[in-house]
Chain A
Amino acid sequence: MKTANKTVTATQLVKDALTKAKHFADYNIFTYLNEEGALKRAAEIDAKIARGEEVGKLAGVPFAMKDNFLSPEGETTASAHILEGFTSPITATAIEKLEKEGAIMIGRTNMDAFAHGSSTENSYFGPTLNSHDRERVSGGSSGGSAVAVALDIVEFATGTDTGGSIRQPASFNGVYGLKPTYGTISRYGVVAMASSTDCVGFFTKTPDDMNLLMEVASGQDPKDLTTLPDYYNESEAKKVKKIGIIKDFDNDSVDLEIRQALKDKCEALKASGHEIVELEMPALKYALAAYYIIVPAEIASNLSRYDGVRYGFRSEDSANLEALYPNTRSEGFMPENKRRIMIGNFVLSSGFYDAYFLKAAKARTLIVNEYLEAFSKCDAILTPVAPNPAFKLGEKVDDPVSMYLEDVMSVPLNLAGVPGLTIPAGKTKAGLPIGLQLVGPRRSDKSLIEFSKELA
């Protein structure tokens, strides 16, 4: 990526990014533009360069930040009404690390409120338009971040992926999107959705940029006790020779052009001396059902903190405290937030816990084991990201189950904690980007990024 130096200043890079952001304003990508703050940081970096001082690996590189990362610049709302007015006094560890290397946040990007959704249509600020077809969705939940990179406004963007929220919008917009191994990047200062599957990751235009960002942002954080001991920078990219294909994913519910793109890649891999291994993973069929039990349960718990008392939106004119909570939560949450909280409370409530939550936790074990077995037969798995390319705005928003089915091939990874990388794989006849995802065993992130270069 382009960094600042004596001839190309950080100020110029930031100004260019801000100009492009404004040019594409009608795509509804940003919930906040950090003009003043970004230019101030740029001037500081330019002064350092002028003095001949050392600047970081990302000096002057403009980036976009999903609106669920905490920082004092602008309101952190997770694109939800209930967080309106919340300006964070703290900064997320991942953002701190990027900024320490000189990266400059130029704006907060639109998302499905609290990252609940697969189209960015559940945002309190309205949907973000697809970068290739303005009548279609950007994907979600990190839709704004994906489009900011696809339209070349910024060099990279941050995202979060709980069930596909980086990989699916990356595929809908033709960019790279990585969901790292669970625990690779600190979640400190990121609005929690489902703590056992939430991952921080990135959107980039190249695999090398992805590698650089992982070098900077990964690592153990004393403020997030679920971060793994440092491994990324010490790990070697292993050569991927055997590629697994999941037989069950090649069915009529998946778009023909996506299935063809996958077949074409397999042929190309065979031609270059790779071995293709067919995998049977029968429990994956149940991953989506397990996901939509486990994740809402964690959501119901994590989102119980929003009550209008300590921060964010508070409903006005409540007669007493007892009424303040439901009034604030009813006015402040989007319909999809309410569905997920209620489903979470349903699967956790007495009488249903064993039949739903415990059953899903057992299904999760079977899914984890299927991946372990699969990776004893192959080095990486190649699958579609979603069953279809970007769909029309409004097409699925009133039918929650059909929207959930978008996630059918992305959620199994989150339940198992394994990494997944969306790679661009051409376009449909109608000109919509197609993405495929590379999946590897835990801690194989670097191998996947390196291997993706062979698939470009």
Chain B
Amino acid sequence: MEIKREDILHLSNLSDFSLSEKEIEKLGGDLQGIIKYISQLDELNTDDVEPTYQVFEMENVWRNDEILPQDATREQLLALTKEEKDNQIKVPKVL
């Protein structure tokens, strides 16, 4: 399939990017090449084949429903943010 400028803008939006004109152009070509490559899967017959999403061979790993001590404290985690106020993370205005 052909990747158009509007497709790149749509994917950029889904990815939470704001791309420059130069990037839109470069990524357009790159993504076209990658999609052409991955599209060769069309040749492979997968009729009646079940999908595999993990290769862990185990299911339903249960744990007791109790809160275990955590490795990091609230203070340590809050200290990682750029701006903190009243024990909360401060961000630019929402509205």
Contact = CB atoms under 8 A, between A and B. Distances in A.
Contact of B34 (A86, A319, A343, A365): A343
Interface in A342-382: 342-343, 345-347, 349, 356, 358-366, 368
A4 B35 CA distance: 53
A292 B57 CA distance: 23
Given A196-B54, A290-B41, A366-B44, A341 B81 contact: no
A112 B69 CA distance: 34
Contact of A401 (B34, B46, B89): B34
Contacts, number: 166
Interface residues on A, range: 35 or more
Contact of A345 (B15, B43, B51, B77): B15
B63 A323 contact: no
A401 B72 CA distance: 41
Contact of B33 (A90, A326, A401): A401
Interface string B65-95: 0000001110011001110000001011111
A289 B43 CA distance: 11
A415 interface: yes
Nearest to A400: B30
A228 B44 CA distance: 32
A401 B81 contact: no
A400 B33 contact: yes
Interface in B32-49: 33-35, 37-44, 46, 49
B76 A415 contact: no
A89 B76 CA distance: 7
Contacts of B42: 359
Q: Secondary structure of the A side of the interface?
A: helix
A431 to B, nearest CB: 32
User: Interface size for chain B: under 10, 10 to 19, 20 to 34, or 35 or more residues?
Assistant: 35 or more
A113 to B, nearest CB: 15
A293 interface: yes
Nearest to A286: B44
Interface of A: 86-87, 89-91, 182-183, 196, 222, 225-226, 228, 283, 286, 288-290, 292-293, 300, 304, 307-312, 314, 318-327, 329-330, 333, 335, 338-339, 341-343, 345-347, 349, 356, 358-366, 368, 399-401, 404, 415-417, 442
Given A289-B39, A324-B91, 4 more contacts: A228-B58, A289-B38, A320-B95, A325-B16
27 contacts: A89-B77, A286-B43, A286-B44, A308-B82, A309-B89, A311-B81, A318-B92, A320-B93, A323-B92, A325-B16, A326-B17, A327-B18, A339-B27, A342-B8, A342-B12, A342-B27, A343-B38, A345-B11, A360-B38, A362-B50, A363-B46, A365-B49, A365-B50, A365-B51, A400-B34, A416-B55, A417-B57
